[in-house]
Structure 1
Amino acid sequence: MTRLFGTDGVRGLANGLLTPELALRVARAAATVLAPSGESERPVAVVGRDPRASGEMLSAAVIAGLTASGVDVLDVGVLPTPAVAYLTSVHRAALGVMISASHNPMPDNGIKIFASGGHKLDDDVEDRIESLISGEGLLPAPTGAAIGRVRVTEDAADEYIVHLRDALTGSLDGVTVVVDCAHGAASSVAPAVYAAAGAQVIAIHADPDGLNINDGCGSTHMEDLQEAVIRHGADLGIAHDGDADRCLAVDASGSVVDGDAIMAVLAVAMKESGELIENTLVATVMSNLGLHIGMRAAGITVVTTAVGDRYVLEELRAGGYSLGGEQSGHVVLPALGTTGDGILTALRVMGRMAQTRRSLADLAAVMTTLPQVLINVKVSDKAAVASAKSVVDGVAEVEQLLGDTGRVLLRPSGTEQLVRVMVEAAEPELARRLAQDLANRVGQV
């Protein structure tokens, strides 16, 4: 059986792979593992969603599954994913459930589950939940007064906004920002938070109708944001995805500032303030070599993990570090949140701009992005590629040629028969040529 949980929960076509029946069973299995019966107080689950239409259907199924398992539900409605994680923690809930497919197009949806404290699940916990979903074990079925109850809260957004505002020291007075809300969960929260912090805010793509989430906008489609920043003469632009756990940026000239550059800006700021524990930044293997070079020059160590913010989170917890993230814009500040928070990240970036009176382009110049070429190669056997002599020899040749001026990475997909070939080099044409040569070798295995 194919593993149901991916790198970030259960995700698929809503009412296709991800049916209400599956959502209900996922919720019941999660409740059984994370909120076992027999506790002195009835367990509570926080449930939120992004505004896509199928979220209404799937949220109802999840709530039904939780209450059928004897869990009380705090229904917080449409809120960002990090808000659900935060509320799970502050309300001391046994678990939190977010209905969202993040940056995916509207027809998809997903179920993200948080354990108590607002933490993402470890692999072994997901495996235990999966075994119950597949029918390997009994699910509780309380009756009468033991059935869970539902409370709809109207002040959850306000709680989260106060938390975000408290995370920023100082004011954003003098900062003009365009924020692309992706017609998603950030649409009401992000503009309000940035304005409350003192910024002049211009919001775009902030009118969700259930069908337009991520549609040509947000962190996966930056063109409208780039144009709006230039047209309004703004200091920067901020792009969120559908559930606002990502943050990418645009500087005043319209150039994209990705997650690597954002982490570099924050790492230097936190080193100066003494907040960067062990002077260490945690990033994934996909982060650009330019980040490593720039951080080395700044006296900051970069620790790398596998791709996926869950692995970044594991390393942050294991090492007690204070900053980590991904090139895609998931940035985690453990002292302020248990998961990636795009709105919090944006606040910290703008706070650095306001504090130093420097432009985003100037701050981001702490690193220079090396040209990076990524080619996805379809293969019949991912495992065979890693040991194929032609591929091993090819990688060795590229590494010898590049030395410390570039990098090569071959990474099998976690969900498909694909191998991702990535090459970074000082010259774009060299990176393209070397990546294509390796891709050809991989495709012949």
Structure 2
Amino acid sequence: MFGTSGIRGTVGDDVTGALALSVGRAVASDGYDRVVVGRDARESGAVLVDAVTAGLRECGATVLEAGVAPTPTVARAVPREDADAGIVVTASHNPAPDNGFKLWTATGKAFDPEQCDAIASRIERDEYELQPWTEQGSSQRLEGAVDRHAAELADAVSLDDPPSVVVDVGNGTGGITARVLADLGCDVITLNGQQDGSFPGRPSEPTRETLTALSSVVGSTDAQLGIAHDGDADRMLAVDDTGTFVPKDVLFALFARDTASEGDVVAAPVGTSMSVDDALAAVGASVTRTPVGDVFVANRATQSDVVFGGEPSGAWIWPTETLCPDGPLAACKLVELVADRGPLSSLVESVETYPIRRTSVAVEEKDAAMARVRDRVRERYDDVETLDGVSITVDDGWILLRASGTEPVVRATAEARTESRAEQLAADAVAILENATEANP
């Protein structure tokens, strides 16, 4: 039921009012008595919020209604309001027909897998603590959540010479970024600023391919960078002052290098480029690997040695600010970096990058195939990790073999310091998979 970032699916098929009611009932029945609820701009969210709120109240919980707001706004509100949990009705970067639910703990961190399993188990067993009419919960409007978030963003950065910025909101909830940057003195141009859950301006997920309009505007004006969010604004990606998309691993390396210092640790999922390791090594810091999923990065970021964490998908976490990926915070941090250090294109050039190869192999029995992969690579390689999939480290590169969570394939990724070596490692990865998927291994 729960993926790496909550529940998502097509409205009316996978995601229904009945499911929303069950989620609300299960959260309240599991002991979360005071819950902040918000949603992204999708019209289907209005019905789903009504249903999840009804489920919470049926089982005695008090609901604080945040309305339409960025996911990090809701996550930040949970500890601030002394709530036990938060629920955001959102499908994040998924297309318009989808919706879903993200759950947040009292610390503003996403529910971990065990907490999600507890909620899913209640739903599957239809096991709820329904209350009599005299003990059902109440609801109240949570005023000022976005304003409080905006104030926290402004306090998190300092801009002596505010640059000009183009912000592509993507018709989602990330308009707070344009507002805060303007208040900080930036000259701001906004694209796709009207909230519209059908995402008419561009697809909700910001990628090199979907940000052509942003690239064009930045490249044809005197803007010094461009910022883009997904539908619920937990993600942030960028284009530089020439209008060129900033590679995700490079953006990770820039944030990590700017945040960390001697002895610090940065949390990154398996499959993150060596560019991040090298950038941190230059300042005496290091990387600790986690399974894929921002919740695992956030879990590691709760430990005192971690000063930053992220996923190259565009989810960035500064644990001293919040344990939720906060796209508007990342935007403000990047603008501050450009204001302090100069053109983003020059900063990008300062990060050394390496060739990466990605492919997939169709596999019917993924679990069995990955078990065979684990056995065989241990016979061949010395440095093997099974934190999430199978990671193989060699002197000049690495291989990651990881089963897809949604498709009957195993994905192979290889990175090396030269093109020829990357090709060789990618070929080795495919050979390992093909050997492991033979009919009679």
TM over 0.5: yes
State the distance in 2 between where 1:78 and 1:179 align.
19
State the partner residue of 2:17. Answer: 20
Secondary structure of 1:304's counterpart equals strand
Q: Take 2:62 and 2:314, find their aligned partners in 1: how far apart are those partners?
A: 34
CA distance in 1, matches of 2:295, 2:200: 24
Q: Distance in 2 between matches of 1:234 and 1:395?
A: 54
Deviation at 1:393, TM superposition (A): 6.1
Q: Which runs of structure 2 are paired with 1:299-314 in the superposition (5 Å)?
A: 299-314=284-299
The corresponding residue for 1:130 is 120
Q: 2:3 aligns with which of 3, 6, 12?
A: 6
Which residue of structure 1 aligns with residue 369 of structure 2? 385
User: Quick check: 1:48–1:78 contact (8 Å CA) kept in 2?
Assistant: yes
Q: Which amino acid aligns with 1:178?
A: V
**Which position in structure 2 is the counterpart of 1:242?**
231
Deviation sequence 1:140-186 (CA, Å, 0-9, x none): 22233422222234422212111211212x22644011111111111
Instruction: Work out whether 1:342 is the aligned partner of 2:327.
Output: yes
**CA pair 360-219 structure 1, distance change in 2 beyond 3 A:** same
Q: Percent identity?
A: 34
How far the C-alpha of 1:437 sits from its partner, in A, is 5.6
Q: Hey, what's the Cα distance between the residues in 1 that align with 2:333 and 2:69?
A: 20
Range that drifts further, 376-385 or 397-406: 397-406
Worse overlay, 290-299 or 199-208: 290-299
Cα gap change, 1:341/1:443 in structure 2, threshold over 3 Å: closer, same or farther? same
1:179 corresponds to: 167
Partners of 2:194 and 2:427 lie apart in 1 by 42
Look up the SS of the partner of 1:323 in the other structure.
strand
Q: How does 1:361-440 map to 2 (within 5 A)?
A: 361-388=345-372, 392=376, 396=380, 403-428=394-419, 431-432=422-423, 434-436=425-427, 438-439=429-430
How far, CA to CA, are the matches of 2:105 and 2:273 in structure 1?
32
Residue identity opposite 1:118 in structure 2: G
User: 1:100: how far off?
Assistant: 0.8
**Does residue 60 of structure 2 align to residue 70 of structure 1?**
yes
Residues 185-212 of structure 1: CA distance to partner in whole angstroms, max 9, x if unpaired? 11x3121011112111111121222211
> Displacement, 1:433?
6.0
CA distance in 1, matches of 2:35, 2:262: 32
The gaps in structure 2 that reach 5 residues or longer are 385-391
- 1:195 counterpart = 2:182: yes
Partner of 1:38: none
Between Structure 1 and Structure 2, which shows a larger proportion of helix residues?
1
Amino acid at match of 1:121: F
CA, structure 1 residues 226+306, in 2 after alignment: closer, same or farther (shift >3 Å)? Answer: same
* Distance in 2 between residues matched to 1:414 and 1:396, nearest whole Å: 27
Matches within 5 A, 1:278-317: 278-317=263-302
- Paired residues in the alignment total 427
Per-residue deviation, 1:123: 2.0
CA contact (8 A) 2:415 2:425 kept: no
Mapped partners of 1:319, 1:213: distance in 2? 43
- For 1:102-156, what per-residue CA distance to the aligned partner results, in whole angstroms no more than 9, with x for missing partners? 111111111001121222212222221111101263x122233422222234422
Q: Does 1:80 align with 2:70?
A: yes
What TM-score results when the alignment is normalised by the length of structure 1? 0.88
Q: Tell me which amino acid in the other structure corresponds to 1:419.
A: V
Deviation at 1:77, TM superposition (A): 1.1
- The alignment status of 1:233 with 2:218, answered yes or no, reads no
5 Å-filtered alignment, 1:203-218, equals 203-212=190-199, 215-216=202-203, 218=205
- Length-normalised TM-score, structure 2: 0.89
Cα distance in structure 2, aligned partners of 1:209 and 1:60: 19
